[in-house]
Amino acid sequence: MSEMEAGARGTRPTAWVDGRLVAADEPALLVGDRGFQLGDGLFETLRVRRGVAIEIGLHLARLREGLGIMAIPMPLSDAELAAGIAAVVAADSLLDAAARITVSRGAPSDRGLLPAGWRTLVPTVVIQARPHVPVTADVLARGVRAVIATGRRDPAHPLASVKTTSRVDHVHAKLEAERAGADDAITLTVDGHVAEATAANVGLLVGKRLVTPPLAAGILAGTTREWLLRPEGASALGLVAVEAWITPDDLVAADEVWLCSSVAGFQALVALDGAPIGGGVPGPWAARLRAAREAWIVATSGG
């Protein structure tokens, strides 16, 4: 897109759709697209700071793994996807952004779960970016209050850890939280272990031991969670990070509990189903982890 086109578009957001930049508030997809019709697609959301897509390799590897499970071909290389992200961020002049890559199976000419010719469908690839809006100081000071979702996660389900565009179960859990006057919901496995929040991984701290559920709990392999387990994460702060099965009682009894995601970072969980955690106020480690992660992002993006 030329500078003239970008200027004429002004503050209207831009999207990258199948290799072309379009106005994000204008129609750009066919009504028969499987992502719209059936939620038949996957997505990834990541931070982009000063033009650097943070942990893009991890995000694209997770995306490709999920596409393989769903037998959706990826028509673009990692370099082309990275270029698409860069194009959208540049078009909207974003210094710090949250970018999303969405891939659907495409738009068949016939209906059905697997219509004739589904193997030769051309997938739809959309890239969007929005300004990164940090969690407000008020929310960080107050902490997050959650309820236990009524839905249960089956770790044996083949799509338990795949980030599909069909997130209606997460939406339902968030609705339950809102109706209860809470901020978020924690999903449990079918046998009552903690899985994850609606859009974040979960962890707890007892002393200097930091525990997060294993991937076997059917959770998303979050990139911030993975950073926590790497040498530059928890251990750099003097904590011992481990993966282990945990229960709601473990959360309530912990010194601190946190939620983490690639865009929102770390937030303290201060209550679960009305029971206070850590005295019902954010402890010091959620803020330290948040600051350490942000400092790592700044360093990774070149300052």
* Of residues 237, 197, 223, 230, the one with CA closest to residue 47: 223
The model's confidence at residue 292, banded by pLDDT at 50, 70 and 90, is very high
Quote the pLDDT of residue 38: 96
Quote the pLDDT of residue 5: 36
Mean pLDDT rounded to a whole number for the chain? 95
Residue 4: pLDDT over 50: no
Residue 140: pLDDT over 70: yes
Q: What is the mean pLDDT of the segment spanning 138-152?
A: 97
Residue 8: pLDDT over 70: no
Quote the pLDDT of residue 303: 80
Q: What is the mean pLDDT of the segment spanning 16-38?
A: 94
Residue 3: pLDDT over 80: no
Q: Do 97 and 89 touch, CB atoms closer than 8 A?
A: yes
* Of residues 94, 104, 17, 118, the one with CA closest to residue 66: 104
Q: What is the mean pLDDT of the segment spanning 146-156?
A: 97
Q: Do 85 and 101 touch, CB atoms closer than 8 A?
A: yes
Percent of the chain with pLDDT over 90: 95
* Of residues 155, 266, 146, the one with CA closest to residue 220: 155
Percent of the chain with pLDDT over 70: 96
Q: What is the mean pLDDT of the segment spanning 85-94?
A: 97
Q: What is the mean pLDDT of the segment spanning 159-176?
A: 97
Q: What is the pLDDT of residues 188-230, one digit of tens each?
A: 999 999 999 999 999 999 999 999 999 999 999 999 999 999 9
Pairing mode, if any, of strands 265-272 and 144-153? parallel
Q: What is the mean pLDDT of the segment spanning 60-72?
A: 98
The model's confidence at residue 12, banded by pLDDT at 50, 70 and 90, is confident
- Which tokens sit at 219? 């959770």
The model's confidence at residue 91, banded by pLDDT at 50, 70 and 90, is very high
The residue type found at 89 is V
Q: What is the pLDDT of residues 227-277, one digit of tens each?
A: 999 999 999 999 999 999 999 999 999 999 999 999 999 999 999 999 999
pTM: 0.93
